Structure 1
Amino acid sequence: MIYSHIVRGVRHSFADLRTLLACASPLRSGDELAGVAAASAQERAIAQMTLAELPLSAFVEEPLVPYESDAVTRLIFDTHHVTQSQAAFAPFASLTVGEFRDWLLSDNATGDQLSALAGALMPEMAAAVSKLMRAQDLIYVARKISVVTRFRTTVGLSGRLATRLQPNHPTDDPLGIAASMLDGLLLGSGDAVIGINPVSDNVSTVTTLLRLIDHVRVRYAIPTQNCVLAHITTQMQAMEQGAPLDLLFQSIAGTEGANTSFGINLPLLEDAHAMARELKRGGLDGETGAENIFYFETGQGSALSANAHHGVDQQTLEARAYAVARHFKPMLVNTVVGFIGPEYLYDGKQILRAGLEDHFCGKLLGLPMGCDICYTNHAEADGDDMDALLTMLGAAGVNYIMGVPGADDVMLGYQSTSFHDALYLRRLLGLRPAPEFERWLEGDDFHRLQHAGQPAALLPGGGRRG
């Protein structure tokens, strides 16, 4: 279907819905690389005006990626067409994208109403309305929404900010990892998860690292959860061999082809999810096993890098990845916003905009959104850009951020946020850690950790007892 808008007597047309969305998207290098970006600022403004007049129902009628050939599209449409989702969406079906934006910004759109609507919204609708919003709009609406998840800690409560303690090491050395863990824990980091990116994606390494985190957790009674960010099939093998796995990790994307490039599909995620549920780890207040057990990572540009973008802009595809995440009720979702590089988000301005968009869209779709506020060293960005995004996301109610020693990941080779950045944001905005973790920080077990001595004391069988 052709979409058009008349400006000063001249009709401007867009060939189909995906072209309209791409042209309406704020400028980013990845869309230019894909050849889908607006040719000029004028075309972008006209596309946004056209999009503002489009009814939300148009997204139900025109898939951006063919239903017959894409599993993510089928998941999106099949979820939307269930009776409960249709009933929740019905009052909004006649609204235009512009009217939906106005409603989101109004006092009528309360946090409870937004939470009730989340499961009925298609990701493309969230992406579309974000393209019409200023930075302050994205912050203001996301701030209304609380998405709370639980494992051993409760993440996402209003007035709280959690962190992922990321103790990566360039050789997976347990002592080096223990040193980073000790540093982070003593600075109040780790209530969302202690998550390690392993250098070696093999069962032995994954099992060793999971046991290391679990040993420290049990020894010092730390309310947190572990995760080793290996491929999901490696984690499944580790579970089969008795590894103490808490959260399942996997990178996901917004098209079937991009997920295939990651070596995954929806049935595989279902199998891994069922296997992890059988471990019955986590849970609060006497529960046997936690429901929220996935940790997903996403990032704008992944479908383009896999040549599986179908001519759709990268921000819309990012929102489609959230449909995959939403299906599994994850504990944590992390947009690794500047990690893929300047080919997709060129500079600090584009990274900042993308981070706010991702957080807004994820929250609007009912996801527990965190953000790796980061950039690679060849991007036109610096620490000041990250400070701005960090502060804006704190104001927007982000569930958690990264805690990396010195903000410089020595294994992955990129710049993120530090343990001290989390302390800054908590103090600036009056935010507190997850409640269970906060109580631990005030108790005897934390004091034992303070007196543990050298990092070797954290290793199984090593060092002086606390």
Structure 2
Amino acid sequence: MILKTILSGKHYQFKSVKDVMAKANEEKSGDTLAGIAAHNMQERVAAKVVLSQLTLNDVYEHPAVDYDHDEVTRMIIDDLDPLVFRQIKGWTFEQLREWLLATTTTNDIIHYLSQGLTSEMIAGVCKLMTNLDLITAAKKIINEKTANTTIGRPGTFSSRLQPNHPTDNLRGIMASTMEGLSMGIGDAVIGLNPVNDTVSGVTAILNTFNEFVTRWQVPTQTCVLAHVTTQMQAIEDGAPAGLIFQSIAGSQKANTAFGIDQHLIAQANQLGKQALQNKGQNVMYFETGQGSELSSDANFGADQVTMEARCYGFARHFDPFIVNTVVGFIGPEYLYDAKQVTRAGLEDHFMGKLSGLAMGCDVCYTNHMKADQNDIENLALLLANAGCTYIMGVPQADDVMLNYQSTGFQETATIRELLNLHPIPEFETWMEKIGISQNGRLTSKAGDASIFMEKESM
């Protein structure tokens, strides 16, 4: 294993695989803050050259966190298909990149080969790709998952309706819900981040969602994004949830900071399969975001892209319905500006899809970041071209509870029209039934929430 190279007459020596991985990463303020980033572009290129010639086995033998001390590492390694890995372990990362981008490489063979890739391998090849490479490779991968409906089918572009309210007022929540649905938003999930993480509060919101969805026969899933233990108690008490949510991280220590571990999520997954009234067996909803491990001092010297890839290794163990990266939410300490957010969104989406996940993105930023709404629309359009499963639908693109900027209702509708994409089929049929869509296009009724104020459903 060679960890050195010469560029333009200058010698570059790296301390370890982890050091190469960190310095080969595109510039991220979080890596700089952690003191592990390349010092300049020349060193970054040198690290990429060294990484390109490492083998998959080199990285397999040097996980970001030690196997004996981290359950996420154990999950990633133990889930690996040994037969597939033996076929490819001698490949260099240069070879893996070229294979993924080859015009002859199809979805089926990518699915097969990905069973032999650890999360660190997925992160490694990501670091050798340009933004266009990430779009091209991700576009090939199709990951379909089924809860009440099936997400991820080719030609579809879905959205999570996020009707957050600063006081969890049910009337305010439902006003936003009705407006979003009237624009064709919410086919992935109607999911609310609650202010109050209580069983009674979660139950009240889920009951309200369920009454509305049942009355109007909306083909979707509902979820309240409280802590997983709160949701589990509400579901055990009879609350009508459609998915079970939890934020996750790429190391055991970081997950402990979230109040979770593998055993707890396995319990939640099993409860969902037993208690949720869905057609399919994909019952979990996970969220991630570059930098969370660094913020809890749980990255073990690894860069934030590698740790993010490990989130997807943790997630795929439970075969969730959906996963999304909240790409700009954590702030400029980890993603400084629009350029870094754009890169991170494309990286996360590619790594999630290569991990076998129905991958979405909360295309967002905080108000103290060097980004604006034009940047977010740019990234949303790039992701849609990359085959992104879903994005967020937030009233006016301004979350008044979490106090950050995301995508609104219009972005999803416009991207669908621009790229000839559609909602989940059952949801589109429902849109036509209530009169807000016809022949794949929104009608003049779209955006008029008063259609739901009628006493009787259609």
Whether these two folds match at TM > 0.5 is yes
Q: Secondary structure of the residue that 1:432 maps to in structure 2?
A: coil
Structure-1 residue corresponding to 2:197: 201
TM-aligned CA deviation for residue 61 of structure 1: 1.4
Q: What pairs with 1:26-425 in structure 2 (closer than 5 Å)? A: 26-80=26-80, 85-283=81-279, 290-425=280-415
**If the length of structure 2 is used for normalisation, what is the TM-score?**
0.95
TM-aligned CA deviation for residue 165 of structure 1: 0.4
Measure the CA separation in 2 of the matches of 1:39 and 1:259: 30
Structure 1 unpaired stretches of 5+: 284-289
Structure-2 residue corresponding to 1:287: none
AA partner of residue 46 (structure 2): I
Name the stretch that deviates more: 115-124 or 359-368: 115-124
Measure the CA separation in 2 of the matches of 1:427 and 1:220: 25
Q: Secondary structure of the residue that 2:249 maps to in structure 1?
A: coil
Q: How many residues align?
A: 450
Q: Secondary structure of the residue that 2:56 maps to in structure 1?
A: coil
AA partner of residue 53 (structure 1): Q
Asked whether the equivalents of residues 103 and 109 of structure 1 are also in contact (C-alpha less than 8 Å), the reply is: yes
Measure the CA separation in 1 of the matches of 2:449 and 2:382: 37
TM-aligned CA deviation for residue 240 of structure 1: 1.8
Measure the CA separation in 2 of the matches of 1:108 and 1:56: 21
Measure the CA separation in 1 of the matches of 2:276 and 2:369: 43
Structure-1 residue corresponding to 2:441: none
Asked whether the equivalents of residues 27 and 350 of structure 1 are also in contact (C-alpha less than 8 Å), the reply is: yes
Measure the CA separation in 1 of the matches of 2:53 and 2:317: 30
AA partner of residue 230 (structure 2): T
TM-aligned CA deviation for residue 9 of structure 1: 4.6
Structure 2 unpaired stretches of 5+: 438-444
Asked whether the equivalents of residues 75 and 313 of structure 2 are also in contact (C-alpha less than 8 Å), the reply is: yes
TM-aligned CA deviation for residue 278 of structure 1: 1.1
Instruction: Evaluate the alpha carbon distance shift between residue 296 and residue 309 of structure 1 in structure 2; reply closer, same or farther with a 3 A threshold.
Output: same
Q: Secondary structure of the residue that 2:79 maps to in structure 1?
A: helix
AA partner of residue 201 (structure 2): T
Structure-1 residue corresponding to 2:13: 13
Percent identical among aligned pairs is 50
Asked whether the equivalents of residues 335 and 370 of structure 1 are also in contact (C-alpha less than 8 Å), the reply is: yes
Measure the CA separation in 2 of the matches of 1:116 and 1:247: 28
Deviation readout 1:177-219 (Å, 9 max, x if unpaired): 0100110000001100000000000101100111111111100
Q: Secondary structure of the residue that 2:396 maps to in structure 1?
A: helix
TM-aligned CA deviation for residue 280 of structure 1: 4.2
AA partner of residue 389 (structure 1): L
**If the length of structure 1 is used for normalisation, what is the TM-score?**
0.93
Asked whether the equivalents of residues 440 and 446 of structure 1 are also in contact (C-alpha less than 8 Å), the reply is: no
Deviation readout 1:64-107 (Å, 9 max, x if unpaired): 21111111011111112xxxx12223332221101111111112
TM-aligned CA deviation for residue 118 of structure 1: 2.3
Asked whether the equivalents of residues 332 and 368 of structure 1 are also in contact (C-alpha less than 8 Å), the reply is: yes
Q: Secondary structure of the residue that 2:271 maps to in structure 1?
A: helix
Q: Secondary structure of the residue that 2:6 maps to in structure 1?
A: strand
Asked whether the equivalents of residues 408 and 416 of structure 1 are also in contact (C-alpha less than 8 Å), the reply is: yes
TM-aligned CA deviation for residue 11 of structure 1: 3.1
Asked whether the equivalents of residues 179 and 455 of structure 1 are also in contact (C-alpha less than 8 Å), the reply is: no
Measure the CA separation in 2 of the matches of 1:64 and 1:116: 24
Name the stretch that deviates more: 345-354 or 50-59: 50-59
Asked whether the equivalents of residues 158 and 185 of structure 2 are also in contact (C-alpha less than 8 Å), the reply is: yes
Instruction: Evaluate the alpha carbon distance shift between residue 374 and residue 444 of structure 1 in structure 2; reply closer, same or farther with a 3 A threshold.
Output: closer
TM-align CA RMSD: 1.9
Measure the CA separation in 2 of the matches of 1:280 and 1:177: 23
TM-aligned CA deviation for residue 108 of structure 1: 2.5
Name the stretch that deviates more: 223-232 or 52-61: 52-61
Q: Secondary structure of the residue that 2:361 maps to in structure 1?
A: strand
AA partner of residue 271 (structure 1): Q
AA partner of residue 40 (structure 1): N
Measure the CA separation in 2 of the matches of 1:457 and 1:7: 65
TM-aligned CA deviation for residue 457 of structure 1: 6.6
TM-aligned CA deviation for residue 455 of structure 1: 7.1
Asked whether the equivalents of residues 2 and 54 of structure 2 are also in contact (C-alpha less than 8 Å), the reply is: no
TM-aligned CA deviation for residue 45 of structure 1: 0.7
Structure-2 residue corresponding to 1:286: none
